[in-house]
Homo-oligomer: A and B are copies of this chain.
Amino acid sequence: MYSAAPAERILAAADKLFYTQGIRAVGVDAVAAEAGVSKRTLYNHYPSKDALIAAYLTARFRQITPSDAPAREQLLGAFDRLERILADGSFRGCPYVNAVIEIGDPKHQAAGIAVQFKEQRRLWYRALLERMGIGAADALATQLQILSEGALAAALVRGDPSLARSARAAAEVLIDNAVTRRRRTRSRARSA
C-alpha cells in the first residue's frame, strides 16, 4: 500500500484544487485526475460534487488544540498565525467565505458548515476572553472575529500580508480597553 486510500486521496485533491482554483472553476474530472483515480471511483465515494464540496469544507474544520498559554498571548498569537497564512503564496482567502460566495445558494449544505466554523472560532475567542475575566467577552469575541475576517478579505484583494499586523494591533487596543474598563469598574466598586 504505497499511497493513501482512494477516499483520502480524492479529498486531498479536492482540497488542493477547490481552494487554490475555486470550487466552480474546478470540474469533477480535474479532481479525479489530480487524485489519480477514475471518475467512477470518485462517484463511488462521493455521490455528487456537492457532497464532495461539503466533505472538503468539513475536513478543513480542524479542532483547535487547547493550550495552557496565557489567554492574551493565545489571542494575539492567532493574528500572528494569520500573518503567516496570508504570506503563504497559495493563500486565496477564507475557504468558507469563498464557498458561500461561489455557491450562492444559502440553503446549500456548505453555507451551514461555514456558519458552524465561524461560530466555533468565535466561541474560542470568547472562552479565552472570559478566562481573562472580561465582562463583555461575547461582544468582544465578535469584534475580534470581525478583525480576523477583515484581514483575510483585505489581504486577498490587496495581496498584503502585513494587514494581519494591523488587525493584531487593533485587537490589542480592543482587548486592553476591555481590561482597563474592568479595572476601573472594580476600583470604583472598591472605593464605594
Contact = CB atoms under 8 A, between A and B. Distances in A.
Interface of A: 21-22, 24-25, 92-94, 96-98, 100-102, 104, 106, 111, 114-115, 118-119, 139, 142-143, 145-154, 156-159, 163, 166-167, 169-170, 173-174, 177
A146 B139 contact: no
Contacts of A119: 158
Given A150-B150, A157-B118, A101 B104 contact: no
Indicate how many identical chains form the complex: 2
Given A150-B151, A152-B153, A157-B97, A24 B102 contact: yes
A42 to B, nearest CB: 22
The 9 A-B pairs with the shortest beta carbon distances in the complex, nearest first, are A150-B150, A146-B150, A149-B150, A143-B170, A149-B153, A142-B166, A22-B104, A153-B153, A149-B154
